[in-house]
Structure 1
Amino acid sequence: MKVNARAELEGITPYALGQTIEEIKEQYKLTTVRKLSDNENVYGTSPKVREAILRASADLAFYPDGMTSGITEKLSAHYGLGPERFLVSNGSEEIIRLLTRAYIDKNDEAVMAEVTFPRYKTNVLIEGGKVVTVPMIEGRHAMKSMLEAITEKTKLVFVCNPNNPTGTIVAKQELLSFIGNVPSNVLIVMDEAYFEYTDSKDFLDTMPLLEQYENLVILRTFSKIYGLASLRIGYGVMHKEIAKELHKVRDVFNVNQLAQTAAMAAIEDQDFVKDCAAKNRAEREFLREKFKELEIESFPSQSNFLFAYTNTPVIQTLTENGILVRQMHLPGYKEAFRITLGTREDHEFILQVISQLFHERAV
């Protein structure tokens, strides 16, 4: 007897994770692999985090704080907002799932950019909703078109800012206008996982808008600049009534205690965050300029990665030399890949590999 899964799962594929470092080493006979495919913090995490985890490891037999009260209080103090606005999660991706579980009914619509974080689409489809994708303009969200795509069936609008995988941002005034014109019965989900890496004067900090727009939900994470990707902890900031609904559908003890402890220590070390942001900014400018000299173009990034593209195949050569990047597909862009920003040593090695490839092809 065959037991059929829900019809909504047809056509959904698991998130592509790629080969492991050990598999790459074995396949290409390498001793060193530079993993620049998942937008992790190459500078690690704050030393204070490691110390806090060691102290907390004595209590592994106990269940974690089910209400995440400690980190919620830290976040409340950090942003100057009431604790009732925060929902801490098993990575900010969990809140995406909770939002679709709580607000998407069969045939409800969700609007998003054509090329953005793929888990928006997946979670909407799982709940039986319909995904409305809007083509991008040179790697950027087309906000006017997204606004026009909203109908009476729309429940959610996702805006990834900076956008993953292109690294671009929505201009401040353009985003303000968009938020102000979205109907109040449609949730605006601002995914700001890379917020701490931004330095553009044209980037809009949406936190001050929460009082004015009750349909605004802001997602942030400890996975990126805080360097806690392996512990899976993120958070959402929203109106207390939205948070109340999401608490109804979240798992019990959804965030483990080591993650909560690590996040509390991480948010206290803002010097580490500022140092990582400064290093990232310098390497972002360096690599983008050097790529341009090699005729590899990239979108203007406000994140810890570049979306690069060229007419010359480079991804396979990078892989063979132990440089892992993420292949990307965007209409009109050949040989596109997303590369996490590394250290200067990483970048000089990458440039050497690519220069050698181009020289061999020229000969």
Structure 2
Amino acid sequence: MINDNVVRQQILEIKPYVPGKPIEEVKRELGLDEVIKLASNENPLGPAPQAIEQMKKTAEQVNIYPDGNVHYLRQKLATKLGVKEEELIFGNGSDELLALLGQTFITEQAEVIMAGTTFSEYRFATNIMGGKIVTVPLKEYTHDLEAMAAAITPNTKLIFICNPNNPTGTIVTKDEVDNFLNQVPDDVIVIFDEAYYEYVANPAYPETVDYLADYENIIILRTFSKAYALAGLRIGYGIASQKLIDYIERVRQPFNVNLMAQKAAIASLATEDHLAKSVELNQVGKEYLYQEFDKLGLEYVPTGSNFILVDVAEDSTRVFEELMQRGVIIRDMSAFGYQTKIRVTVGLPEENEFFIEQLKEVLNN
């Protein structure tokens, strides 16, 4: 009989990632004709029209392996960011890059520091390599960089900073990061996960690319999944010193970024007007939702991203399930230890309005 001894013991420490429910699954299970999904922080505006056209053209070429070096996207992105082409690495979404970071840097019992409430894939990348997770509680829903610096030991290998943080949407500021980096030893690698970078409007937010000139131990992760609306194509990228990139490249699989993703990302970079529309739509949606939450007397965390953590003041699982029955998929935050909180992605105006209508009815039941 197969038992747990057949697998690496680190595997037993891992809880499978549970994504937001797909629209089609909810329609099928509940017999609904109309369902909106505000659970996975996707861009409701969709990809730029130019990116869609490029995808259509590329469909005829998918019998050929993609460019394993991501040459043309690498060129475009390096120019946009003002970095060298050798300071970039691409992945099948940022999730793959997180796994590659674990394979590259984490050894058994090496300590990895992260916030107590943050993106769960940092735990996966650590656990699968047998590393030791060191969690530092959030302070007012925000990374406590002073406490994270104090948690560094001679065994510390990596520090993950999700900025804006998922699921709280909060940011750490440039002044906080400046002070933090001055306390981090050169042989400890700091990873800034900036999946929601394009949505941040706060002028105090750090431009981490500027740190690369002075810090060789920094890795920045960004993605085309969120503001550029290419989540279904899975394409993310990392920015770091050439030395760190060279290390990570040694464990990257060939052809890990598909052809359609590369072409669509190139087209997306050339359509800044569509990006601006996405950011503006998100800002207007946030302000509407803030206003409605205030009217309902619900506490929420002001966000630098495209989602909002809101306290519904009752069992979040009940609210999640009843909203789903009404055709609205949001994220139940009880798995994060927030028993009365939900996370809602900012949608199109009509989606935001429908969500609020349904939320009012659920909370009045």
Q: TM-score range by the shorter chain?
A: over 0.9
Task: Give the counterpart letter for 2:103 in structure 1.
Answer: R
Once residues 298 and 19 of structure 1 are traced to their aligned partners in structure 2, the CA distance between those partners, rounded to angstroms, is: 23
Q: Distance in 2 between matches of 1:316 and 1:53?
A: 36
Alignment root-mean-square deviation, CA: 1.5
Equivalent-residue separation in structure 2 for 1:35 and 1:349 (angstroms): 11
Question: What CA distance in whole angstroms lies between the structure 2 residues aligned with 1:272 and 1:190?
Answer: 25
Cα contact 2:115–2:135 (8 A) shared by 1: yes
CA distance in 2, matches of 1:91, 1:305: 19
Question: Which residue in 1 is equivalent to 2:121?
Answer: 119
Residue 175 of structure 2 is aligned with which of 165, 173, 176? Answer: 173
For residue 257 of structure 1, report the CA deviation from its aligned partner: 0.7
Partners of 1:322 and 1:332 in 2: how far apart?
A: 25
Which residue is 1:279 aligned to?
Answer: 281
Does the CA-based 8 Å contact 2:20-2:39 persist in structure 1?
no
Q: Does the CA-based 8 Å contact 2:333-2:339 persist in structure 1? A: no
Residue of structure 1 equivalent to 2:343: 338
Which residue of the other structure, out of 33, 36, 44, is the alignment partner of 1:34?
36
Cα displacement (A) at 1:123: 1.1
The answer on whether the counterparts of 2:19 and 2:40 sit within 8 Å (CA) in structure 1 is no
Give the corresponding residue for 1:157: 159
Q: Of residues 186, 189, 208 in structure 1, which corresponds to 2:188?
A: 186
- AA matched with 2:290: R
1:48-105 alpha-carbon deviations (Å, 9 max, x no partner): 0011112222221211101111110010111111101000111111111111101111
- Alpha-carbon spacing, 1:334–1:294, altered in 2? closer, same or farther (3 Å): farther
Tell me the SS of whatever aligns to 1:249: coil
SS of residue in 2 equivalent to 1:219 = strand
For 1:187 and 1:16, locate their aligned partners in 2 and report how far apart those are by CA, in whole Å: 28
The separation in 2 between residues aligned to 1:109 and 1:304, in whole angstroms, is 31
1:240 aligns with 2:242: yes
Give the aligned partner of residue 316 of structure 1. Answer: 321
Moved more, 275-284 or 322-331: 322-331
Q: Does 1:328 align with 2:333?
A: yes
Question: Residue 315 of structure 1: CA displacement?
Answer: 2.0
Between the aligned residues of both structures, percent identity stands at 38
For 1:26 and 1:224, the matched residues in 2 are separated by 26
1:146 match: secondary structure: helix
Give how far 1:358 is off.
Answer: 3.6
TM-fit CA distance, 1:264: 0.6
Give the structure-2-normalised TM-score. Answer: 0.95
Shift of 1:155: 0.4
Name 1:46's counterpart in structure 2: 48
Q: In the alignment, what sits opposite 2:215?
A: 213
The answer to whether structure 1 residue 349 and structure 2 residue 354 are counterparts is yes
SS in 2 for 1:88: strand
Deviations along 1:193-251, one digit per CA (max 9) or x if unpaired, are 00000001121111111111110100000000101001000000000000001110000
Counterpart CA distance in 2 for 1:25 and 1:54 is 28
Q: CA deviation at 1:129?
A: 0.4
State the distance in 1 between where 2:193 and 2:286 align.
21
**Is the 2:13–2:127 contact (alpha carbons within 8 Å) kept by the matching residues of 1?**
no
Q: Which amino acid aligns with 1:249?
A: V
After superposition, the Cα gap between the structure-2 partners of 1:58 and 1:28, relative to the gap in structure 1 and judged at 3 Å, is: closer
Q: Is the 8 A contact 1:296 1:309 kept in 2?
A: yes
Q: Relative to 1, partners in 2 of residues 1:162 and 1:23: Cα closer, same or farther, differing over 3 Å?
A: same
The normalised TM-score by structure 1 is: 0.96
Structure 2 residues without counterparts, runs of 5 or longer = none
Instruction: Report the Cα distance in structure 2 between the residues aligned to 1:11 and 1:343, rounded to whole angstroms.
Output: 39
Would you say 1:197 and 2:202 are equivalent positions? Answer: no
- Number of residue-to-residue matches in the alignment: 360
Cα drift, residue 333 of structure 1 = 4.4
Secondary structure at the residue paired with 1:277?
Answer: helix
Distance 2:6 2:104 in 1: 24
Tell me whether 312-321 or 279-288 shows the greater mean CA deviation. 312-321
**C-alpha displacement of 1:330:** 7.8
The code of the aligned residue for 2:194 comes to E
Deviation at 1:17, TM superposition (A): 2.3
